[in-house]
Structure 1
Amino acid sequence: MDHIGIQLSKLPFTNLQKKSDLVYYDGPVLSHFTSEQSEYLMFYWVDFNEVNNRWLIKDVQEDKFVSLLKGRLSIRDFLLSFEYESRFTYLADLDLNFETTNVSMIDSKSLTDEYLPKKHVYFEEDEVPSIYSSLLEKYSESYYLETLRERAIYLKIEPTDSVFGKTVSAAKASEFLKNVSTSILSFIEEDFIREFKNLIGDFDQLKRIVKAVQAELSPRLVYSEYGSFEVGISSYTPTLPEDQKAFKDWIKSVLENYKNDVVFLDYESDDQVNRIVNKFDDNARKKIYSPFLKIVNDKSLKLETRTYNKRSVTKYKQTNKKNLERILPQPLELKEKAETKKLISLVLEVKGDTEIKGIKKKELDTGLLFSQPVEEVSIPIDNLTTSAGELQLISPILINLKLIENQKYLGTIDEFDIKVLNNDKEVVLDSLKALLIEAIDTDFESYERPDVMLEKLQSHL
């Protein structure tokens, strides 16, 4: 028998106990084992020799196992399936004393036909061993639905006017369901990220997992009543392996947390509003609370929620402005327009010894001969301090400066292919000079290429 996959010293499962043979033909073909690590460990017979039988061994989840027993999954698809469970399958040779050798681990996607049953082979109901009767009852349609209803969020809306009695328009009902669903899915995303961002360091991987979790926990209608429009909204709870306890605990509690943090939150209580403001950042609160508070503050509707057994009913009133603005911070209004800039070319008459930086407002008023807006100005560089010393330029190097969208300065030294963009013109001018000097110094110090920069400088020296 060939060896495939990654070789292991032993199976990662201890204290194996057989619970049942599910398929038997001249010996066990598909068997259910338990271990200290898994309640549903499946052994599928694939090969043998004079000493050993080779088994494909897969750790699966309870709901997948039930799907197999109910004939919803073929045996082949069952062995290939993976979601929350490990994507890996194990191969091992076992002798008559159940001692294992040649243990390997392979990607479930890599399993070939020689290790798999034929397609479209399903369990029949009368083939299921009786020991699984209570498990199947647990997953019966009525039991499953009742379990979802016990966990559900119950919301009822009715119009504030009675023109059409208590009936709600289809458009309003549709908008209401969309807002509730958006709020729940946003809560799942933000609460998962908040809980596990440090555990899952890779942000792209975290986002992929969030999408998968949202798909699994997508809100489902499990109860409805018409006239006034009442719905029960719940989510499916997948089973997870014991080694993913943190995820299991979070999944079990996320819908209850949504009820406490959103649906049953007292929006008039400063303490409760403080709690969610501290728990979620502005962007997360906007995604979670904006759609729900649209329903609460819709003046054409009355909203109430209740518990499963109707022992507690909550009626909502308009959220007070102070707390609404704390939960959903409003964007700041710009108090003044953004500063605009422009370039102007001036011709001034000044005294012969006057320096440009020394020109005062009076001299500007009296000496101005001509002014004109321009799109670009040229600023000369007359000298440069490099590592080779001071360079006095007979012919200045020109910096071309222009404004981009009346806000940013773009400075270029076209001759040397240098550009800088910044809001501050002094930063632009200083940076251009520094880059030019750096390029010249690099050329001076380089012995591996011709003096390209110096060739360009020749015309200025």
Structure 2
Amino acid sequence: MTSQNKNIDFDLSQFQRIEDIIYLDEPILSHLIKNNRHYLLYLVDTLKNSDIYLLLELEEQIIFEYLTKQTTLREVIFSNQNFIYKIEQDFYGKIIGVNITQSKFLPENYLPTQDSYLNYEPTVQSYYYDFIKNFETKAYLHLLREQAFYIKLAPTNSKYSDTIGFNELVSELLKNISTSFKSFLKADFFESFKEIITDERKLNASFKKLAPDLDYRMVDLDFGSFEIGLAVDKLMKQSIENKEIRDWAIDVGYKYQNIVLDEDYDEENVSRIISSYSPEDRKKIFEPIFKITENSNFDFKIKDSKSKEYSKILIKDKAKIERILPSKLEVVEDEKSKEFEIIQVTTIKEKDKIRKIIRLDENTLFESTDTKQVILKKKDFAKFDYDLEYDVEIPLDISTEKGQVIFETEYDGIEFKKVLDTGKFDDGIRQIIASIYEYILNKLE
């Protein structure tokens, strides 16, 4: 298969045939490799005694895009900037002639149609089965890198030539960032969904189930001073069924970057932090970060993308740190040590007179008890913005035991129970009603 009559000697046997991508009675489009370079051999014309082929060199990325219907064969050929070999070969495999050309000089009848996408599904045995999977992984990693933000931890002491100690990095710096991030995830989840998932145990269980999917993906790394690229993996979070939680899970990584890894903690951000998170949560989230920013042995820097310049995270106004971090957290009284009792009030009021306040005076009777039953009706659901389409009468037993208030009922053969460590009566009623309403909605679906 060597050229006989042109200035170019050409031997196709020196190329390794990977696979025929298009085959109709004979190979139409084949993938060849030589010296780790990739080529497509394309049959464009058949004459009386010979076939005409185009041989073009291209990158693996282009082959991947063609195989996965991201581009057409016409575009692959027409956009190719390399020289193209036009090869004439007789039906016995002998090369008759070779010309060098470029895509812009090819006649129209050598080019595929505008919609020349490939309908192709490789078998497990095919070379392209693993080829496509590997490229998809590389492509997604490339996408994550494009979307990543970068943090840099650098020593201020030149003694070790801008290198950072392993123990310092792991036990002090990265540990503090990780602690801060985990605390932020939990605090923000509880703040965002405490009104939707009213049972605290369910709220905790939901977060624990979700937590592994919330982590950043480490997509780039550099040494000396320690640099790391972190990205939000949106694809991984698509498995989260609840749309509202899924949207939060995607957004929370960016939220942490914007709120906690802020360059200068401007007044707007500080006010938002104080209004959004409790003193306890602020201490868990921000104290680890301030341990780094206030450590004169290190610079903590951040940039929005690989191509941007680093900015140092520096809080010049130390009063902002004092506002964010409470100097002394109030000791929360141990509510569990309290004992509760139910007080039933009996009094008299004029029948037709509407009062928002009941006067407690000498005509009022009080009765202490450990148990009480009330009837939940449609209006009780409406009080907490749960709209029932029909009337109900659900007996709810309320009792006290060992410093706890217990709310128990049964509806439709299902038991519902809530235990509170505080005497907030309305909270227990609201949580029971929320659980029953959720059950009713799920049953209707």
* TM-score range normalised by the length of the shorter chain: 0.3 to 0.5
Q: Which has the larger radius of gyration?
A: 1
TM-score normalised by the chain length of structure 1: 0.41
